[in-house]
Amino acid sequence: MKNKKNKEMLRQIKKEQKLKEKEERKEKKAKKAKNREYAIVSYFFVAIFVSLIGYLVYFNVVESADFINSPYNTRQNTFAERVTRGKIVSESGETLAYTDVDGEGNETRVYPYGNIFAHVTGYTSNGKSGIESLMNFQLLTSHAGYLEQFMNSIRDEKNMGDTVVTTLDTSLQQVAYDALGDYRGAVVVMEPQTGKILAMVSKPDFDPNTLASNWDTLVNDESNSSLLNRATQGAYPPGSTFKIITALAYIREHGTIDGFSYLCEGSITEQGHTVNCFNSNAHGQEDLTSAFANSCNSAFARIGLDLDSSLFTSVSKDLLFNKKLPVDISYRKSSFSLDKDSGMPLVMQTSIGQGNTLMSPMHMALIVSAIANEGNLMNPYLVEEITNYNGDRVSLTKKSTYKQLMSEEEASMLMQLMESVVRQGTASQLSGEAYTAAGKTGSAEYDTAEGRGTHSWFVGVSNVEDPDIVVSVIAEGAGNGSDVAVPIAKQIFNAYYY
C-alpha cells in the first residue's frame, strides 16, 4: 500500500515537472518571439539610419554640386561673395570667358571671342546658360592653396575661382562659325571615339558682352530667336539624313544590305499620295547602296511601307527618339510618332525624314558617332578638366560609354552605305581628299508663309577606317544638302586635316 502511494506521488511529481517544463518552453518561445519582434524593429531603424547616412554621403559626393548649381538655389550668391568667378578656356588654353575686376572691386564678365562661342560658352547676366550655367558651381569654387585662402580671409579679399578647361577647339569653332556664314542654323563637331565636343555653333547669335543692354531686344525678337542654341534646342525635320534610321530598320528586318531591288521612276504613289524624288529624277534600277547614295525618296518610301511598323518604332527608341539625350546643356528631345495605326501617306513621309519627325543637329551627330564607333555611343562632354587658377588639376573627365545603340555589324553596314554617298552620291564633293569621308545629305521641306522652304542638312564622319571627327550641319532654308551643308562640312574637315 505504501509502495502504491509512493508510485502515485512520483507520477504526480513527474506530471507536475512536465507541466512546468511545458510552461517554461512556452515562456521561452514567447520571449524569443518578442525578442525577434524587437530585433526586427531595431534592424528596421538601423537600416533607416544607415540609409540616411548613405544618402548624406551620396548627396555630398555626387549630388551636392548639381543641387548648389541649380538656378533656384540662392546659396550661389553666397559663393559669389567670397570667390571671383573663374575662367573658361579652350582645350588649348585660349580664354573664352574671364572676370575683370577694376580698382574698386567691380566685376565684369568678359568674353574675348564675342559672338563666336556665344551659345556654347553661354552668359551670366539675366540668368545663365551654356557652360556658364553647367559649371557654375565649379567656377565659384576655389582650390587655391590653403595658406592663400587663409590670408585672403584675413584680408577680407576674394579667392580666385577654378578654371574650366573645355573640349572646344578654337580653330574649328572659328572655321565652323565662318563656314555657316549668314545662314541660320547650327554646326556640331565631335570625336566619336571619346565623346569630346570640339565645336558647337548656332546662328543667329548674340554678343554676350552686351547681353544685358540688349536683353529686351533679344528676348522679344521672335523672328530670329538669337538666344536659342539651335545645335541642341533646334527641332527640324531631318529630311534624307533620316534614311540612316530607315536603312537600319531595313537591316534589322533582313540582316543584310544585299537583296534589295527597286525600279525608281521618279515618284511613288500609294492611296492617292505621291512622294517624288528630288527634281522628280528617275534613278532607274537600284540596290540599297545606290538608293542610299542617290538619296532616292521613292525607294525609301517603298522600304518604309514594307517594314514591320513595330520594328520601325523599336529602332527609333533604340536611337533615343522621344527620350532623354546624354547631353549636359539644355536640349530638346527629338520626336518620332509613327505607329501601327499610321496611314500609308505618313509612313511614306516618315521614311524619308518628313512627316512629324523632328531632330536636333546634336542628336544626329550622336547617332552618326555611334555608327563611327562600332555601334557604341560615348557620353558626349564639353569639359575636359577643372584646374585651380594656377593650373593645378582638380578633376578630369574620363571618356565613358553611354549605350550601345546598334551592333557592330549594323554599324559597319551603315558605314558602307554612307561611304557610297561620298564615293558616288550626293556628297561626292568630299571625295578625292587626303582623308576619307562618309555621310548623308538631307533636304528637309517645311512650310513657310510664302509656301515651301528647304533646310540643308549633312552629317558625316572623316577617316572612315579609324574615325576622327563627326560633323553635323543644318542651314535653315538654304536648299538641298549637296549645295550648302556639304561645302560647310568640307571646310571643317579640311581645317582639321590641313
Q: Please provide the average confidence, as pLDDT, over all residues in the chain.
A: 91
Residue 2's pLDDT is what? 55
Fold for the domain defined by 172-497 = Beta-lactamase (3.40.710)
Percent pLDDT > 70 in the chain is: 89
Above 90 in pLDDT, residue 264? yes
Residue 80's pLDDT is what? 84
Residue 411's pLDDT is what? 98
Above 80 in pLDDT, residue 492? yes
Residue 60's pLDDT is what? 57
Bridge partner residues of 376 (DSSP): 404
Residues 270-310 pLDDT 10s:
999 999 999 999 999 999 999 999 999 999 999 999 999 89
Q: What is the mean pLDDT of residues 240-259?
A: 97
Stronger pLDDT, 442 or 1, i.e. the higher one: 442
- In the chain, what is the straight-line distance between the N-terminal and C-terminal CA atoms, in Å? 126
Above 80 in pLDDT, residue 449? no
In a 3-state reduction of DSSP, which class is residue 333?
coil
Residue 346's pLDDT is what? 96
Rounded CA-CA distance 205/74 in Å is 29
Alpha carbon of residue 251 to chain centroid: 25
Q: What is the mean pLDDT of residues 416-440?
A: 97
Residues 294-304 pLDDT 10s:
999 999 999 99
User: Taking a C-beta distance cutoff of 8 angstroms, is the pair 128, 136 a contact?
Assistant: yes
Which residues fall within 8 angstroms of residue 162, CB to CB, at 6 or more apart? Answer: 86, 138, 139, 141, 142, 143, 386, 387, 388, 389, 394
Above 80 in pLDDT, residue 86? yes
Lowest mean pLDDT of 248-257, 334-343, 382-391, 422-431, name the range.
Answer: 334-343
Q: What is the mean pLDDT of residues 383-401?
A: 97
Stronger pLDDT, 221 or 200, i.e. the higher one: 200
> Is omega for the bond preceding 204 within 30 degrees of 0, making it cis?
yes
Percent pLDDT > 90 in the chain is: 78
The reply to whether 172-497 shares the fold of 76-167 is no
CATH architecture of 76-167: Alpha-Beta Complex (3.90)
Query: Of the candidates 453, 484, 437, 417, which has an alpha carbon nearest to the alpha carbon of residue 246?
Result: 417
Above 70 in pLDDT, residue 137? yes
Residues 23-59 pLDDT 10s:
777 777 766 666 676 667 676 767 777 777 766 665 5
Element (H, E) at 370: helix 361-372
Q: Please, which pLDDT band fits residue 76 given cuts at 50, 70 and 90?
A: low
Rounded CA-CA distance 355/456 in Å is 17
Q: What is the mean pLDDT of residues 75-93?
A: 89
Above 80 in pLDDT, residue 466? yes
Q: Please, which pLDDT band fits residue 69 given cuts at 50, 70 and 90?
A: low
Above 90 in pLDDT, residue 7? no
pTM above the 0.85 mark? Answer: yes
Residue 17's pLDDT is what? 73
In a 3-state reduction of DSSP, which class is residue 326?
coil
Helices (H), 93-145: 118-121, 130-134, 136-139
In a 3-state reduction of DSSP, which class is residue 330?
coil
Rounded CA-CA distance 377/359 in Å is 17
Bridge partner residues of 398 (DSSP): none
Query: Of the candidates 204, 243, 193, which has an alpha carbon nearest to the alpha carbon of residue 227?
Result: 204
**Domain extent listing, the chain:** 1-69, 76-167, 172-497
Most confident of 47-56, 73-82, 197-206: 197-206
Element (H, E) at 441: strand 437-448
Residue 324's pLDDT is what? 96
Q: What is the mean pLDDT of residues 2-11?
A: 64
Q: What is the mean pLDDT of residues 61-72?
A: 56
Residue 79's pLDDT is what? 81
Q: What is the mean pLDDT of residues 388-392?
A: 96
Q: What is the mean pLDDT of residues 88-116?
A: 96
Residue 83's pLDDT is what? 95
